[in-house]
Amino acid sequence: MLETLGLTTTASAVYQAMLDHPGHGIDQLAVICDLNSGQIHDCLDELAQLMLIRASNEHPGQMRAVTPEIGLSDMLARQEAELAARQAQLAASRAAVTRLVAERADTHPAHGERLLGMDAIQSRLDLLGRTATTEVLGVHPGATHRPEDLAAGRTADAEAMARGVTLKVLYQDATRNCPHTTTFAHWLLSNGGEVRTAPAIPQRLVIVDRTQALVPIDPADSRKGALHVTEPGLLGALVALFEQAWATAVPLGATRTDDPKTGLTDTERELLRLLGSGMTDETAGQRLSLSTRTVRRHMAAIMERLNASSRFEAGIKAAQKGWL
């Protein structure tokens, strides 16, 4: 049960045994958990690192389990802080990469070829897919994707996966409600691809073998054209941006559960953060690929949960509760 918080199965069992039998020593825990003393010591080291056990005042030389109300809540708080830090880093990286791509395109045209229009983009994607040898990384923002766009690359994707090329695709959470996208995503999964989603993701991006990438010339309208990038320094930044976003995303098929401490979903937490930074409903909705009506529905639910009569009051109460 506690494996989702980062504990190993054996450490979780030892922690539970220590909660049930506070006075037991290593030998007794080993019998209960069907482990040897060395494994118990390893588990205690793991639990101590996670601050789930402390030295016992009642039994000198032994450790005692910290109650779940304190120990697990502290673990969740640390994980939330780490996630918030990663998301902030991702946002900063996203902005930096966008600026860098624009600057390099203007000042160093030799390092990037401009592809104008969807036909030119799709032709280059087909070529890159057919010549890929190790992996293809893709970021595809938006709540919906046109069936014809999804179908356009299916042949090249199938051939690449058949050659053993790893495909990793990142969508926004909002696409889980789009039948066309989820059907295509499950097709990718069934053929060995990997698909994850997150509330907010970087701009549209395709990286092939970490040596070539396509980024939109205009992030606001990726159909206008793309820049084919081959410069190693820029590629390194794009790969790092993808890996940061991938690390905070959830695999398709996994159920996103509400935060047990706040009751917030990831989308609600990100929405609060965006609105708290000064974004309007419309701008925050665009970032999360949500309609303005959906943004307001989320905020109404959060205000009701906080028993707040206004957004200003909701913001104050959310900050007091550590939600922001």
Q: Which pLDDT score is estimated for 208? A: 92
pLDDT one-digit tens code per residue, 267-302 = 777 777 777 777 788 887 777 777 888 888 878 777
Q: Which pLDDT score is estimated for 140? A: 87
Reported for 50-59, long-range contacts at CB under 8 A and 24+ positions apart, including other chains, are 50/6, 50/7, 50/75, 51/75, 52/15, 53/15, 53/18, 58/23, 59/23, 59/25
Distances (CA, A) of 76 to 81, 88, 198, 283: 9, 18, 19, 30
Tokens, residue 234: 């820029």
Structure-token match 């229009």, residue found:
117
By the 10 Å C-beta count (0-12 exposed, 13-18 middle, 19+ buried), 25 is classed as middle
Report how far residue 199's alpha carbon sits from residue 269's, in angstroms, rounded to the nearest whole number. 9
Q: How many CB atoms are located within 10 Å of the residue 133 CB?
A: 11
For the chain, domains (ranges, CATH) are 2-66 (1.10.10.10), 75-251 (3.30.870.10), 266-320 (1.10.10.10)
Report how far residue 13's alpha carbon sits from residue 213's, in angstroms, rounded to the nearest whole number. 46
Q: Which pLDDT score is estimated for 260? A: 55
- pLDDT, one tens digit for every residue, the chain (324 residues): 565 566 788 888 888 888 888 878 888 888 888 889 888 888 888 888 778 887 777 666 778 888 777 767 777 777 777 777 777 777 777 777 766 666 655 554 545 688 888 888 888 888 888 888 899 999 988 877 888 878 877 888 888 888 888 999 998 888 877 888 888 888 888 888 888 888 878 888 999 999 999 998 887 787 888 889 888 888 888 998 888 888 878 887 655 554 555 567 777 777 777 777 777 888 877 777 778 888 888 787 777 777 777 777 777 777 777 666
